[in-house]
């Protein structure tokens, strides 16, 4: 059985008009915040409706880095 390699990570999660649109895990808070600053508040037109990204960085104490890519 493979051993887990648990590490802390910062999760960038973005919502598009309240609906989750995905997330990325980062090694440090500064990288997470840099991506948040670029994405947060952007608007797109989807199905003829304007929608706005809301992004947040959250510390995740234990992420299995063998299963989840940490950037």
- Residue 1 pLDDT greater than 50, yes or no: no
The helix or strand, by DSSP H or E, that contains position 30, with its residue range, turns out to be helix 29-39
Q: Give me the pLDDT at residue 3, please.
A: 72
Whether the CB-CB separation of 11 and 60 falls below 8 Å is answered with: yes
Choice between 2 and 46, residue whose per-residue pLDDT is larger: 46
Given this model, what pLDDT does residue 23 score?
93
Domain boundaries, the chain: 8-62
For 16-60, the pLDDT digits (tens) are 988 898 899 999 999 999 999 999 999 999 889 999 999 999 999
- Give the confidence band of 64 by pLDDT, cuts at 50, 70, 90: very high
Would you state the pLDDT for residue 60?
A: 96
Partner residues linked to 51 by β-bridges:
44
């Amino acid at each position: 059985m493979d051993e887990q390699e648990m590490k802390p990570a910062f999760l960038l999660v973005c919502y598009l008009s309240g609906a989750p649109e995905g997330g990325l895990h980062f090694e440090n808070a500064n990288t997470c915040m840099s991506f948040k600053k670029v994405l947060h508040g952007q608007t797109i037109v989807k199905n003829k409706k304007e929608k706005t990204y809301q992004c947040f960085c959250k510390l995740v104490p234990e992420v299995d880095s063998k299963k989840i890519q940490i950037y």
